[in-house]
């Protein structure tokens, strides 16, 4: 590659993190460390019923028996789980009745993030649940949704107001015994979002949760639970950012989705946690367990993710296709730069008959980063006529970065048709030359190619997020491209 | 594992007795390695579907005295493949079978017993034997080094080109459950060219016959080596092979592994492309039914720029057969202009069979072209319908499609006689007519 192109790629891959400011919000902390007392304190702070405390304690005791998973293609420095605060919440009086009572600094924070909490200022057609550190600070458009019977509120609120629903579904897709981080989350989760779409309702607007880590030395452990009853549709968006800090902060979330007959859930994520600086200092450790179950016949779950942030990402959103004719989709763009590491992919578990899944994963590696796709397609013995197509492409933008693919295909039914393809290469010099000779500068050409490469996934994002995702891709990679 | 450690300690003298001292000199270190590592752990990333400790748990007998007298390979295996002109060699229950009449070989080539080679060429032996096992081997390879008493060596000196192929037939048999440890060492000096065909056969179907086999291949600059492995054993066999390949500049190695009938098989391949413009082609074909189990694992390391690797593994499974393919390609940071392609295609024929596939790429260099592809499915109904509508019976149509599916692996075989014979064997295998290779009694 010519010097010129190298310079452009370097420039291209060196842009600062835009959301790195921190806000001066009065925050309430609990003491550092993790033990049963801490778990009980979190539960007490949230005024939780006995069964939920039991759930937490069981999870905590199980977590104590586990060790950190070592199998990922990641170099995770030792994490001191006792040197961390497990609950941090913006101080409030009685809980804001209206926005006027909310800390203005907090409103400003979300305004700066482009997430205004005043309903009149928002994109019409999107309800937002804003989560700062450990608690949800505001959920917008709640009343409009309630008219339709849709419940969209913070997880803590759901525990108080809809305990039966929470009890029925909590841990039904991701058990606390699922893995190390799932057990940790189940023990100390603080807040998150709860969505319930009753039978026959098509959610009239996009639902969105915005997660923000603000406090220092804290971990964020939120939990999202989405239940879509028969014949429903909902599109749920998730965004996240964190301030620039030299320390590494831990984010270990769980997302559970339950989809009944003929229902569809579209879950989109733009993950932009602070990735650390150019020398790999700081950044969020993003260890997330996301899974949905297509319980009903002809149901569908679609995961779309744009992963640009986090120092280390460990994340495999999955679909259990239990209902006949159910469909699972996974579209992902994962960008790693500087010293970021990502080991991400999906799991498609085919159980019902005539189930289909599609995986499109696009990895872009720059700087000294390592970017891995790890995915499982399992076709069970009863899963007649299962169909899967997986496509995993990797683009390398520097000679010091790494792109890896680890697909696992376990096929136990002869009627299955499973296909997997993957390619790894850099941007072809022929393509750049072609653009150059047609008057497109190398800089623009690289931009065009990267954008075109990720387009298939970006197109799957809802409009509002697609704009943000494209912007993010520019921040992460397209420094000098207009 | 403990049983083998105790056995080694108690029988050390007997193991050494009939072997060249040079061969024995490697045992102690291997023993230490085996004690440290043990057998590769079940459900570790690379051994998720083969439990070595459980497979090797039975109380196997060892042939510590050379058992050649019991089996005359010329009687039990009168191999006569038309158009396959080859130098024939036999290894019976792990020991090289000494022919009464020596075969005439081109100048400088050594093709024969491992012990003999250690005595005749001690310097070359010391330079190459066990080097790759030491560098890259696991507990299983060390286990083989501990117990191996003989084996086969093909040594082709500088610039010697041997057109005629070498054929090595491994024969296992006996009256009791037994474990044999076989060894193959192939050294091609710069500019040398050779072809080796290894066939695995069993004479008895009843006792449980287990074998470990370590193959070390060294291809120096501009060397070219074709390695064909054909397994046609019985359902009561366990075959655990570890193949190491080390390639220098502009060398070319083509490997074919074909499993037609077996019990439980695990084949490991590790190829290290250490020289620029080195090329590796690795082909595999598995035809398995009943309770056959075949687990192929390949690791290709591209250490330098401008090397090429090409992998193609095809499985045709039926009944309750289980197929596993694990492939990993690693391209290190400076290995620019690497081309690596990995393909695995599988046909499933019944509801009881299973296929586990894991094609992996680890790429640390940017100017590369690497890809992998995997498909698992069944025969296309429209294609079958097309043929049936043209008057071809459904059985024939299935046969034609299956045969076409395996054909691209066969086409890459450069030994014409072997290719033709395999086509015939595979057709018979698909028709359910083949019990054993036609050359066997």
Q: Which of A405, A408, A418 sits opposite B376 (nearest CB)?
A: A418
Contacts of B336 in chain A (CB under 8 A): 399
Residue-level pLDDT at A278: 82
Contacts of B355 in chain A (CB under 8 A): 409-411
B331: nearest CA partner in chain A: A402
Contacts of A73 in chain B (CB under 8 A): 362
Residue-level pLDDT at B325: 96
Alpha-carbon distances, residue A102 vs A129, A138, A214, A273, B259 (angstroms): 14, 9, 16, 24, 71
Tell me, yes or no, if A2 comes closer than 8 A to chain B by beta carbon. no
Residue-level pLDDT at A480: 29
Q: Which of A397, A408, A413 sits opposite B351 (nearest CB)?
A: A413
Residue-level pLDDT at B341: 94
Q: Which of A404, A417, A418 sits opposite B361 (nearest CB)?
A: A404
The label of the residue with tokens 């008219």 reads: A147
Contacts of B335 in chain A (CB under 8 A): none
Taking the C-alpha atoms of residue B169 and residue B229, their distance in angstroms, rounded to an integer, is 10
Contacts of B356 in chain A (CB under 8 A): 408-411
Taking the C-alpha atoms of residue B282 and residue B229, their distance in angstroms, rounded to an integer, is 11
Contacts of A378 in chain B (CB under 8 A): none
Q: Using CB atoms within 10 A of its CB, is residue B147 exposed (0-12), middle (13-18) or buried (19+)?
A: buried
Q: Which of A411, A420, A423 sits opposite B354 (nearest CB)?
A: A411
> What are the pLDDT tens digits along chain A (482 aa)?
455 555 655 555 555 676 667 666 677 778 888 999 999 999 998 899 999 999 999 999 999 999 998 889 899 999 999 988 888 877 654 444 555 555 666 666 666 666 666 554 444 456 677 776 656 666 677 778 888 999 988 899 899 999 999 999 999 999 999 999 999 999 999 888 899 999 999 998 888 888 777 777 788 898 999 999 999 999 998 887 777 777 888 999 999 999 999 999 999 988 888 888 888 888 889 999 999 999 999 999 999 998 888 899 999 999 999 999 999 999 999 988 889 999 999 999 999 999 999 999 999 888 889 999 999 999 999 999 999 999 999 988 888 889 999 999 999 999 999 999 988 888 888 888 999 999 998 877 877 888 888 888 888 777 666 766 666 666 565 432 32
A413: nearest CA partner in chain B: B351
- Do B372 and A396 lie within an 8 Å CB cutoff? no
Q: Which of B359, B362, B366 sits opposite A407 (nearest CB)?
A: B359
Residue-level pLDDT at B259: 94
Hey, which residues 18-47 in chain B have their CB within 8 Å of chain A?
A: 45
CB–CB contacts below 8 A, A to B: 116
- Do B363 and A73 lie within an 8 Å CB cutoff? no
- At B153, list the tokens: 């060596």
Taking the C-alpha atoms of residue A255 and residue B263, their distance in angstroms, rounded to an integer, is 44
Contacts of A414 in chain B (CB under 8 A): 348-351, 353, 378
Q: Which residues neighbour A312 within 8 Å (Cβ) at sequence distance 6 or greater? A: A74, A76, A283, A285, A286, A287, A340, A341, A342
Which residue, B186, B315, B306, B205, is CA-closest to B254? B186
In which residue ranges of chain B is pLDDT below 50?
A: 440-441
B373: nearest CA partner in chain A: A421
Residue-level pLDDT at A479: 39
Q: Which of A396, A402, A414 sits opposite B348 (nearest CB)?
A: A414
A395: nearest CA partner in chain B: B366
Quote the DSSP letter at residue B98.
P
Q: Which of A397, A412, A424 sits opposite B370 (nearest CB)?
A: A424
Contacts of A423 in chain B (CB under 8 A): 369-371
- At B32, list the tokens: 């230490």
- Do A420 and B348 lie within an 8 Å CB cutoff? no
Task: Give the closest-approach CA distance of B56 to chain A in angstroms.
Answer: 25
Which residue, B119, B122, B128, is CA-closest to B96? B119
Contacts of B370 in chain A (CB under 8 A): 423-425
Whether ipTM > 0.95 holds is no
Task: Give the closest-approach CA distance of B142 to chain A in angstroms.
Answer: 25
Q: Which of A396, A402, A419 sits opposite B375 (nearest CB)?
A: A419
Query: Following CA atoms B380, B386, B390, B394 in sequence, which dihedral angle do they give, to the nearest 10 degrees?
Result: 30
Which residue, B179, B169, B181, B173, is CA-closest to B228? B169
In degrees and rounded to multiples of 5, residue B378 shows phi and psi of: -120, 180
- Do B365 and A423 lie within an 8 Å CB cutoff? no
H or E element in which residue A36 lies: helix A36-45
Task: Give the closest-approach CA distance of A336 to chain B in angstroms.
Answer: 14
Residue-level pLDDT at A138: 64
Contacts of A400 in chain B (CB under 8 A): 333
Contacts of A420 in chain B (CB under 8 A): 357, 359, 372-375
Question: What is the dihedral sign for C-alpha B139, B141, B142, B147?
Answer: positive
Q: Which residues pair with B402 in a beta bridge?
A: none
In degrees and rounded to multiples of 5, residue B55 shows phi and psi of: -65, -35
* Residue B344: other Cβ atoms inside 10 A: 27
Task: Give the closest-approach CA distance of B431 to chain A in angstroms.
Answer: 20
Give me the helix-helix angle, A463-477 and A442-458, nearest 10°.
Answer: 140
Q: Which of A417, A422, A425 sits opposite B372 (nearest CB)?
A: A422
Query: Strand, helix or coil at A425?
Result: strand
Q: Which residues neighbour A9 within 8 Å (Cβ) at sequence distance 6 or greater? A: A1, A366, A397, A398, A446
Residue-level pLDDT at A482: 26
- Do A426 and B378 lie within an 8 Å CB cutoff? no
pTM for the structure as a whole:
0.85
Chain B interface disruption, residue of A337, A374, A404, most B CBs within 10 A:
A404
- Do residues B421 and B411 touch, judged by C-beta distance below 8 A? no
Task: Give the closest-approach CA distance of A417 to chain B in angstroms.
Answer: 4
Tell me, yes or no, if B263 comes closer than 8 A to chain A by beta carbon. no
Taking the C-alpha atoms of residue A67 and residue A58, their distance in angstroms, rounded to an integer, is 16
A397: nearest CA partner in chain B: B366
Quote the DSSP letter at residue A78.
P
Q: Which residues neighbour A335 within 8 Å (Cβ) at sequence distance 6 or greater? A: A306, A307, A308, A363, A364, A366, A371, A473, A476, A477
Q: Cα angle at A414 between A409 and A417, to 5 degrees? A: 55
Tell me, yes or no, if A423 comes closer than 8 A to chain B by beta carbon. yes
Chain mean position to CA B148? 17
- Do B351 and A420 lie within an 8 Å CB cutoff? no
Q: Which of A399, A424, A426 sits opposite B361 (nearest CB)?
A: A424
Tell me, yes or no, if A43 comes closer than 8 A to chain B by beta carbon. no
């Amino acid at each position: 590659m010519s010097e010129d192109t190298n310079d452009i790629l370097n420039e291209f891959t060196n842009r600062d993190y835009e959301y790195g400011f921190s806000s001066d919000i009065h925050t309430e902390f609990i003491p550092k460390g993790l033990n049963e007392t801490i778990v009980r304190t979190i539960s007490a702070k949230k005024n939780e019923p006995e069964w939920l405390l039991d759930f937490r304690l069981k999870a905590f005791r199980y977590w104590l028996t586990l060790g950190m998973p070592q199998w990922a293609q990641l170099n995770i420095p030792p994490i001191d789980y006792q040197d961390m605060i497990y609950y941090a919440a913006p101080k409030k009086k009685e809980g804001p009745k209206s926005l006027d009572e909310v800390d203005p600094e907090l409103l400003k924070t979300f305004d700066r993030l482009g997430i205004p909490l005043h309903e009149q200022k928002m994109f019409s057609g999107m309800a937002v649940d804003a989560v700062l550190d450990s608690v949800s600070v505001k959920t917008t458009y709640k009343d409009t949704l309630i008219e339709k019977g849709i419940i969209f509120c913070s997880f803590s609120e759901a525990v108080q107001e809809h305990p039966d629903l929470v009890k029925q579904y909590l841990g039904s897709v991701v058990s606390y015994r699922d893995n190390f981080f799932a057990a940790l989350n189940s023990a100390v989760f603080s807040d998150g979002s709860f969505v319930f779409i009753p039978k026959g309702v098509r959610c009239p607007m996009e639902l969105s949760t915005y997660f923000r880590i603000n406090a220092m030395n804290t971990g964020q452990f939120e939990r999202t639970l989405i239940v879509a009853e028969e014949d429903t549709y909902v599109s749920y968006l998730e965004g996240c950012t964190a301030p620039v800090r030299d320390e590494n902060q831990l984010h270990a979330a769980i997302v559970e989705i339950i989809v009944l007959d003929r229902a569809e859930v579209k879950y989109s994520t733009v993950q932009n946690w602070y990735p650390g600086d150019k020398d790999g200092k700081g950044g969020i450790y993003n260890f997330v367990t996301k899974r949905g179950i297509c319980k009903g016949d002809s149901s569908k779950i679609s995961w779309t993710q744009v992963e640009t942030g986090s120092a280390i990402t460990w994340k495999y959103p999955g679909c259990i296709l239990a209902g006949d004719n159910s469909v699972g989709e996974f579209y992902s763009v994962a960008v790693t730069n500087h010293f970021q590491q990502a080991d991400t992919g999906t799991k498609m578990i085919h159980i019902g008959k005539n189930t289909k899944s599609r995986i499109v994963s696009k990895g872009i590696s720059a700087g000294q980063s390592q970017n891995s796709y790890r995915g499982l397609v399992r076709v069970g013995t009863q899963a007649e006529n299962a169909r899967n197509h997986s496509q995993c492409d990797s683009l390398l933008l520097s000679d010091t970065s790494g792109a890896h693919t680890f697909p696992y295909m376990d096929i136990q039914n002869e009627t299955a048709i499973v296909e997997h393809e993957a390619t790894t290469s850099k941007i072809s010099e022929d393509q750049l030359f072609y653009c150059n000779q047609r008057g497109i500068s190398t800089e623009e050409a690289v931009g065009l190619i990267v954008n075109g490469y990720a387009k298939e996934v970006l197109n799957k994002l809802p409009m509002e997020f697609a704009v943000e995702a494209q912007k993010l891709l520019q921040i992460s990679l397209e420094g000098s491209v207009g | 594992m403990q049983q083998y450690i105790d056995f080694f300690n108690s029988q050390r003298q007997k193991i050494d007795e009939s072997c060249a001292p040079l061969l024995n000199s490697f045992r102690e270190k291997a023993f230490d390695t085996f004690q440290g590592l043990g057998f590769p752990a079940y459900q570790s990333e690379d051994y998720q579907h083969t439990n070595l400790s459980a497979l090797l748990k039975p109380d196997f007998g060892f042939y510590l005295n050379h058992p050649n007298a019991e089996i005359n390979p010329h009687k039990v295996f009168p191999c006569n493949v038309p158009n396959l002109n080859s130098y024939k060699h036999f290894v019976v229950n792990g020991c090289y079978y000494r022919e009464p009449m020596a075969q005439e070989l081109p100048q400088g080539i050594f093709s024969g017993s491992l012990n003999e080679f250690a005595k005749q060429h001690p310097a070359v032996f010391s330079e190459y034997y066990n080097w790759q096992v030491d560098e890259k081997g696991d507990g299983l390879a060390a286990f083989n080094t501990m117990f191996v008493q003989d084996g086969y060596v093909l040594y082709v000196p500088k610039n010697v080109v041997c057109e005629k192929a070498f054929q090595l037939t491994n024969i296992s048999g006996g009256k009791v459950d037994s474990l044999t440890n076989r060894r193959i060492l192939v050294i091609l000096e710069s500019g040398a060219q050779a072809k080796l065909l290894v066939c695995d056969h069993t004479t008895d179907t009843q006792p449980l016959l287990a074998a470990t086999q370590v193959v070390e291949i060294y291809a120096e600059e501009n060397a070219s080596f074709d390695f064909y492995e054909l397994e046609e054993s019985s359902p009561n066999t366990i075959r655990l092979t570890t193949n190491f390949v080390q390639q220098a500049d502009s060398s070319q190695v083509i490997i074919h592994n074909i499993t037609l009938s077996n019990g439980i098989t695990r084949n490991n391949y590790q190829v290290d492309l250490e020289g620029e413009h080195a090329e590796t082609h690795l082909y595999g074909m598995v035809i398995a039914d009943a309770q056959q189990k075949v687990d192929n694992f390949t690791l290709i390391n591209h250490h330098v720029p401008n090397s090429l690797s090409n992998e193609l593994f095809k499985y045709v499974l039926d009944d309750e057969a289980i197929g596993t393919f694990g492939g990993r390609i690693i391209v290190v940071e400076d290995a620019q202009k690497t081309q690596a392609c990995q393909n695995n295609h599988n046909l499933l024929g019944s509801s009881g069979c299973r296929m586990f596939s894991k094609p992996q790429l680890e790429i640390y260099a940017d100017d590369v072209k690497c890809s992998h592809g995997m498909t698992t499915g069944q025969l296309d109904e429209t294609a079958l319908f097309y043929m049936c509508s043209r008057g071809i019976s459904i059985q024939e149509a299935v046969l034609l499609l299956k045969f076409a599916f395996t054909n691209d692996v066969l086409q890459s075989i450069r030994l014409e006689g072997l290719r033709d014979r395999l086509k015939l064997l595979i057709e018979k295998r698909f028709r359910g007519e083949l019990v054993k290779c036609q050359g066997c009694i």
